[in-house]
């Protein structure tokens, strides 16, 4: 039988032929792809011709086509729709792929060629984008150990390979704990306080999980299932049970405990950083960011922390006063916050949610993209899909030219990891020809019952817009080189295009146009709209504290150099005590399931980036408010030219200044969160 991963795909939009791809095909495809790519690398590194930009860097940019294609399909499936077979292949392939990558960066002859080009980059007739490519490649190699000698090189490669295995194990352990937990509710007393939309979603989840008991409802550890239950359930004991299960993911006794995995990851990261001459991993991780250092990142976090902490303490007093609870706990916060919001603003989630229909909010996010960037979205139904709930949309520009394919995968399932993220099945580039991207947004919303629309919370709606901002960053890229295209930017800049896009959701013009009642079809009343807007800074102490505390724990953990006596639960407690964490608020992510930190190196010591990017997004969106038009042509054109289409073509602060006309200030962020 032929392996579809090794064939040219004559499918609409060249989508992977998912109906033909079996798990067993990946091992063969990976092995062949690795062999081919190694031959390409050897030919580039060992050629006798003098090193040039074309025969070295351009050749590298064009190499690895089969490997990139196979990896993109595999790792998207391992995140979005995994299986025991895929997980086993991932455990085998992750270290092999890491070893292959390490061998590339530690290839001495290849680095000598890159170093020569780097030294001459300003004198060989290269344009600015090509110089940027040279600089990024050179830095990539240096940060991956290319300048190490002898045994240090061997050790660095060995550590890199081991880390890949540990990242895979961590992720699979968290997913296992999430997938195995179900809070099954069958009696009316257990459902007390839950509105119809929560019950409906819970009934569908029970059906999806094969639970056939009469009146069965299931609450899972997906945020879109957990948060509504925590908000409305009058059963404090069940809220505590659910909260405890949420917090203990990755920490339960048995095969899925992540304690030793985290400990080894931290030790290997520290060893890698020291091999490269850094005092700790945090110094290494932040050297190649806009912040530049843990000190700068912490200064921003602490500038927000103190006003947020004080506001959270006041919010806690409001909850205690209304609830009468002297022992207010973390599992009480959402429940009583909803009641305080009702008291202060005559507003509650159950009143809002029927107006927040997923399909209408997708129309809204497409509308904003059209108004800002003149792109159009048309649903396509003839594409191959890896899951029946995925939808596809062809994206075209104002002249009808194909821009890319956008995939939307919105619903939670046990085969999908938690959270929300953007990824690609094909990246954009303009090397020999224009290749347009296939971009996918993954969310974990609770799907509405059959025949019923899916309803979102305001937080869900923000997540929808956030991930679509990432999606646009990938779709609109007009950068020539793959290494610089799309979202391949510095870690504390990549969240700017996604976070700035969230701002359009909460504008009266957008809410009024795209919020209609799921049952009556009536538009959202002006009075309700006003109450929603008036309440935007409500509970921002809590939401800021739960995030910033996680970011501060992350920084402190990766500045730690004595790991011998590290107890993760105690470390969390000690760090939170130092910053005077308000009682009854939990970290947004506890360490045993903190996938941002332990599923890869990407966000390790860098969870602060969301707050860093929020400084940019609050300041940047003000350009439209100052213009008096949400879609003002001048800032919209600059946002497209210097941010969404520009990838990593230039230094991110230069890109921001080119868009905004100046460097950002932190005041709009504090104002936006009600902390000024």
| DSSP for residue 293 | S
Q: What is the pLDDT of residues 615-662, one digit of tens each?
A: 999 999 999 999 999 999 999 999 999 999 999 999 999 999 999 999
CATH level 3 topology of 354-534: 1.10.1370
* pLDDT score recorded for residue 375: 98
Cα atoms in the Cβ-side hemisphere of radius 13 Å centred on 141: 23
Q: What tens digit of pLDDT does each residue of 442-490 get? A: 999 999 988 899 999 999 999 999 999 999 999 999 999 999 999 999 9
Span 401-458, pLDDT tens digits: 999 999 999 999 999 999 999 999 999 988 888 899 999 999 999 999 888 999 999 9
Are 613 and 502 within 8 A, CB to CB? no
Give pLDDT, residue 366.
Answer: 98
- The H or E element that residue 218 is part of is strand 217-219
Q: What is the largest CA-CA distance in the chain?
A: 80
**Does residue 217 surpass a pLDDT of 90?**
yes
* Residue range 585-616, pLDDT digits in tens: 999 999 999 999 999 999 999 999 999 999 99
- Do residues 500 and 640 touch, judged by C-beta distance below 8 A? no
- Please determine, for residue 505, whether its predicted confidence score (pLDDT) is greater than 70: yes
Q: What kind and span of H or E run contains 423?
A: strand 421-426
Rounded CA separation 77/88 (Å):
13
Q: Is the pLDDT of residue 304 over 90?
A: yes
3-class DSSP assignment, residue 444:
strand
**pLDDT averaged over the chain?**
97
Mean pLDDT of 353-380: 98
Q: Judge contact between 340 and 318, C-beta under 8 A.
A: yes
Domain boundaries, the chain: 4-105+107-143, 181-232, 354-534
The pLDDT score that the predictor gives to residue 430 is: 86
For 196-214, how does the pLDDT look when each residue is reduced to its tens digit (9 = 90+)?
999 999 999 999 999 989 8
Number of Cβ within 10 Å of residue 49's Cβ equals 9
- Which one is catalytic: 90, 283, 467, 502? 467
CA 147 to chain centre: 32
Contact yes or no for 660/617 (Cβ under 8 A): no
Residue 666: per-residue pLDDT: 95
User: What is the pTM assigned to this prediction?
Assistant: 0.94
Question: How many residues appear in the chain?
Answer: 676
Question: What is the per-residue DSSP string for 480-526?
Answer: SSGGGSTT-S-TTTTHHHHHHHHHHHTSHHHHHHH-B-TTT-PBPPH
| 368-376: Cβ within 8 A, 24+ apart | 368/501, 368/504, 368/510, 369/468, 369/472, 371/630, 371/631, 371/636, 372/631, 372/636, 372/639, 372/640, 373/472, 373/476, 373/636, 373/640, 373/644, 374/398, 375/403, 375/475, 375/476
| 445: helix, strand or coil | strand
Q: Which residue has the tokens 């991932």?
A: 90
Q: pLDDT tens digit string along 139-168?
A: 999 999 999 999 999 999 999 999 999 999
Q: Is 456 helix (H, G, I), strand (E, B) or coil?
A: coil
Asked whether the domain spanning 354-534 has the same topology as the one spanning 4-105+107-143, the reply is: no
- Going from the C-alpha of 339 to that of each of 37, 227, 302, 345, 432, the distances in angstroms are 59, 15, 30, 10, 60
pLDDT at 1 exceeding the cut of 70? no
Structure tokens at 84: 């025991």
Q: How far apart are CA 518 and CA 414, in angstroms?
A: 27
DSSP secondary structure of 386-410: SSTT-EEEEEE-TTS-EEEEEEEEE
Mean pLDDT across the stretch 310-331?
A: 97
The span from the CA of 282 to the CA of 556, in Å, is 9
CA atoms within 13 A on the CB side of 297: 30
- Residue 663 phi, psi (nearest 5): -75, 155
Q: What secondary structure letter does DSSP report for 529?
A: H
Tokens 């025969």 found at: 55
Distance CA 486, CA 500 (A): 16
Going by pLDDT thresholds of 50, 70 and 90, the confidence category of residue 193 is: very high
Which CATH code for domain 4-105+107-143?
A: 1.20.1050.40
Q: Is 614 a catalytic residue?
A: no
CB 489 within 8 A of CB 648: yes
Placement of tokens 């069958």 in the chain? 186
């Amino acid at each position: 039988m032929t392996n579809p991963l090794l064939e040219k795909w004559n499918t609409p939009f060249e989508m992977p032929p998912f109906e033909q791809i079996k798990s067993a095909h990946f091992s063969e495809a990976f092995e062949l792809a690795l062999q081919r790519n190694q031959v390409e690398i050897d030919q580039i590194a060992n050629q006798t011709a003098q090193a040039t930009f074309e025969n070295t860097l351009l050749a590298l940019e064009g190499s690895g086509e089969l490997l990139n294609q196979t990896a993109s399909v595999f790792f998207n499936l391992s995140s979005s729709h995994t299986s025991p077979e895929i997980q086993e292949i991932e455990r085998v392939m992750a270290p092999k792929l890491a070893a292959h990558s390490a061998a590339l960066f530690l290839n001495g002859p290849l680095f000598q060629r890159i170093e020569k080009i780097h030294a001459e980059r300003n004198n060989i007739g290269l344009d600015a984008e090509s110089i940027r490519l040279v600089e990024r490649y050179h830095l990539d190699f240096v940060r991956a150990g290319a300048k190490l000698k002898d045994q240090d090189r061997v050790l660095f490669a060995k550590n890199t390979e081991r880390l890949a295995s540990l990242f895979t194990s961590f992720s699979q352990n968290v997913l296992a704990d999430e997938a195995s937990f179900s809070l099954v509710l069958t009696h009316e007393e257990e459902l007390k306080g839950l509105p119809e939309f929560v019950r409906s979603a819970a009934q569908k989840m029970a059906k999806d999980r094969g639970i056939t008991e009469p009146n069965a409802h299931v609450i899972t550890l997906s945020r879109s299932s957990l948060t509504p239950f925590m908000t409305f359930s009058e059963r404090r004991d069940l809220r505590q049970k659910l909260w405890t299960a949420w917090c203990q993911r990755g920490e339960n006794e048995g095969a899925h405990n992540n304690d030793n995995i985290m400990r080894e990851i931290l030790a290997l990261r520290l060893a890698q950083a020291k091999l490269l001459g850094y005092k700790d991993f945090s110094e290494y991780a932040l050297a190649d960011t806009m912040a530049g250092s843990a000190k700068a990142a912490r200064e921003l976090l602490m500038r927000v922390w103190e006003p947020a902490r004080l506001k959270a303490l006041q919010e806690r007093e409001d909850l205690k006063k209304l609830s009468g609870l002297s022992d207010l706990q973390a599992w009480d916060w959402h429940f009583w916050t909803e009641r305080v919001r009702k008291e202060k603003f005559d507003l509650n989630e159950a009143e809002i949610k029927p107006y927040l229909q997923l399909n209408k909010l997708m129309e809204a996010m497409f509308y904003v993209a059209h108004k800002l960037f003149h792109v159009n979205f048309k649903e396509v139904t003839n594409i191959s899909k890896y899951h029946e709930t995925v939808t596809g949309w062809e994206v075209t520009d104002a002249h009808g030219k194909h821009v890319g394919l956008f995939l939307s995968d919105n619903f939670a399932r046990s085969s999908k990891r938690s959270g929300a993220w953007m990824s690609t099945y094909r990246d954009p580039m303009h090397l020999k020809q224009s290749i347009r991207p296939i971009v996918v947004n993954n969310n974990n919303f609770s799907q509405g019952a059959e025949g019923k629309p899916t309803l979102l919370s305001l937080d869900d709606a923000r997540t929808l817009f956030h991930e679509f901002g990432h999606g646009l960053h990938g779709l609109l890229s007009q950068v020539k080189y793959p290494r610089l295209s799309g979202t391949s930017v510095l870690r504390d800049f990549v969240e700017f295009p996604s976070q700035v896009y969230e701002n359009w959701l909460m504008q009266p013009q957008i809410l009024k146009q795209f919020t209609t009642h799921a049952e009556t079809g009536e538009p959202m009343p002006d009075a309700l709209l006003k109450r929603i807007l008036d309440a935007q800074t409500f509970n921002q102490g809590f939401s800021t504290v739960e995030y910033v505390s996680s970011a501060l724990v992350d920084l402190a953990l990766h500045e730690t150099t004595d790991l011998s006596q590290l107890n993760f639960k105690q470390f969390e407690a000690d760090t939170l005590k130092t910053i005077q964490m308000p009682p009854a608020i939990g970290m947004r992510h506890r360490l045993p399931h903190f996938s941002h930190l332990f599923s890869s190196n990407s966000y390790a010591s860098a969870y602060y980036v969301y707050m860093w990017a929020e400084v940019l997004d609050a300041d940047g969106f003000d350009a439209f408010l100052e213009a008096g038009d949400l879609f003002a042509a001048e800032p919209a054109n600059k946002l497209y030219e210097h941010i969404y289409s520009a990838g990593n073509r230039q230094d991110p602060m230069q890109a921001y200044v080119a868009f905004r006309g100046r460097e950002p200030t932190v005041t709009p962020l504090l104002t936006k969160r009600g902390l000024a």
